[in-house]
Amino acid sequence: MGKLIVVSNRVGPLKDTGKAGGLAVALVDVLRERGGVWFGWSGQVSEEGTFGEMKRQKSRNVELATVDMNKADYEEFYAGYANRTLWPILHYRLDLAEFDRPYEQGYRRVNERFATRLKPLIEPGDVVWVHDYHFFTLAGQLRAMGVECRIGFFLHIPFPSPDIITALPRHTALVRSMLAYDVIGFQSNRDRNHFIEYLIQEAGGERVGEDRVRAFGREVVVKAFPIGIDAEGFSQFPKSPEGRRQSQRIKAILGDRAQIVGVDRVDYSKGIPHRFRAFERLLEDYPENRGRVSLLQVAPPSRSELDAYVDIQRELEHLAGQINGRFADVDWTPIRFIMRGFPRKALAGLYRSSRIALVTPLRDGMNLVAKEYVAAQDPEDPGVLVLSRFAGAAEELNESVIVNPYDTEEVAGSLQMALQMPLDERKSRYEAMFNKIVTNDAKRWAESFLSYLSG
């Protein structure tokens, strides 16, 4: 068996810093087990070094190999086509998508540069596993350079219905280049089905078996591989000193009052304004919660160089101020809005001390916060997950309270129901979900994908 080469836009860290997301942890585990290389962008923008010298850093059997980008690459490929064109379209936000030819050209150029630097690392028998929307065209470019090994692709974000994706200029070229992969993985059956529908409707493709399609003269595996977390590991975090300290801090201010928690990067796909409005509606429609229930929203800003992200952040500050102004009392603040990240163990403490997690994305590939919240609960007195039907996680976690985030009244009613849910029901929902996330954890996700990729 050859080595595994993982490709993602951001690389590492290899050590568990306590800050890495579930993805990094899962990938490090499989890389450690098989040995291999993790290749991608260094995170540095530099004029001289652009795709010049590769930085290589080895720790036992795993090597990190990274390259810098120059400013034009960063702006056209990363901030441009990836985050101004593809991210909004794949999250159904045609209104926010910018179609700019230089972005598209930058995307192809940077994918080609990555391919050029990656090719010498590949030896016969190796398998290459590419991640996410930054690299739709990477395999096509590797194939054009004569690379014949197995190459797989996993999309972490949604793949929308053909009606949406066909609004992307030159969408056929993009999807055709995806068919250069051997295995194409999605978070949910919904996304997988959209992709197959696209191939059938737009490319004369056909299904040739449960997980195989033929299109553009290629036959490939197309399958849902729902991503997991290290649920066993995460379930221990609330008991760590840092986890306990957070829970105690919160209990000290809450007393016998209840807390609803939201945790997200600030992003328009996460439905945070909808969440604030639903919480406001809870206070309006069920006034007994005034002074009794608060919302803690933890949301570090992300991609602040993009206008759409600055706008959403302003909107959230404004909304929180408005709702607090309307309902706050001297000893109670309805919404506590914290604009920074927390270390993972502290986060687990926040989850455990919250009666409800309110996860309301308008679209989300999976949403790991939903899984982390379940993992962090006290099995004897678990909280309730209120989850958007538009998160990939809703396909698996159907024992959560599923809501339509656009329906403010329904979300408020579900919050009220969750606040009053008897212990027996909370426990049975929690147990069913916990068993699923422990079984379908991050390790199993990676192994399952790689078993298909190894052919």
Comparing CB distances to ligand ADQ, the nearer of 362 and 419 is: 362
* Cβ within 8 Å of residue 53, ≥6 positions away: 67
Cβ–Cβ under 8 Å, residues 211 and 182 = no
Q: Which residue has the tokens 């000193």?
A: 241
Q: Is 156 a catalytic residue?
A: yes
Set 91, 131, 134, 156: catalytic member: 156
Terminal Cα distance for the chain, rounded? 12
Comparing CB distances to ligand ADQ, the nearer of 303 and 427 is: 303
C-alpha closest to that of 100 among 169, 174, 167, 175: 169
Query: Distance (Å, rounded) from C-alpha 282 to C-alpha 290?
Result: 9
Residue 298 main-chain phi, psi, to 5 deg? -105, 115
Comparing CB distances to ligand ADQ, the nearer of 288 and 305 is: 305
The two tokens of residue 269 are: 């796909």
Query: Distance (Å, rounded) from C-alpha 235 to C-alpha 286?
Result: 33
Residue 366 CB, nearest distance to ligand ADQ (Å)? 3
Residue 103 CB, nearest distance to ligand ADQ (Å)? 20
Cβ–Cβ under 8 Å, residues 237 and 346 = no
Comparing CB distances to ligand ADQ, the nearer of 140 and 349 is: 349
Residues paired with 338 in a beta bridge: 298
Residue 253 CB, nearest distance to ligand ADQ (Å)? 19
Residue 110 CB, nearest distance to ligand ADQ (Å)? 20
Set 68, 132, 267, 364: catalytic member: 364
The two tokens of residue 54 are: 């590769």
Comparing CB distances to ligand ADQ, the nearer of 145 and 338 is: 338
Comparing CB distances to ligand ADQ, the nearer of 80 and 365 is: 365
Residue 299 CB, nearest distance to ligand ADQ (Å)? 6
β pairing state of 206-207 and 212-215: antiparallel
Query: Distance (Å, rounded) from C-alpha 396 to C-alpha 429?
Result: 12
Comparing CB distances to ligand ADQ, the nearer of 11 and 115 is: 11
Residue 298 CB, nearest distance to ligand ADQ (Å)? 4
Comparing CB distances to ligand ADQ, the nearer of 115 and 298 is: 298
Residue 340 CB, nearest distance to ligand ADQ (Å)? 7
Comparing CB distances to ligand ADQ, the nearer of 110 and 369 is: 369
Q: Is 318 a catalytic residue?
A: no
Binding footprint of ligand ADQ on the chain (CB under 6 A): 21-23, 156-157, 227, 263-265, 298-300, 341-342, 347, 364-369, 372
Residues paired with 186 in a beta bridge: 224
Residue 431 CB, nearest distance to ligand ADQ (Å)? 22
Query: Distance (Å, rounded) from C-alpha 437 to C-alpha 236?
Result: 14
Residue 341 CB, nearest distance to ligand ADQ (Å)? 3
Catalytic positions, written as ranges: 156, 364
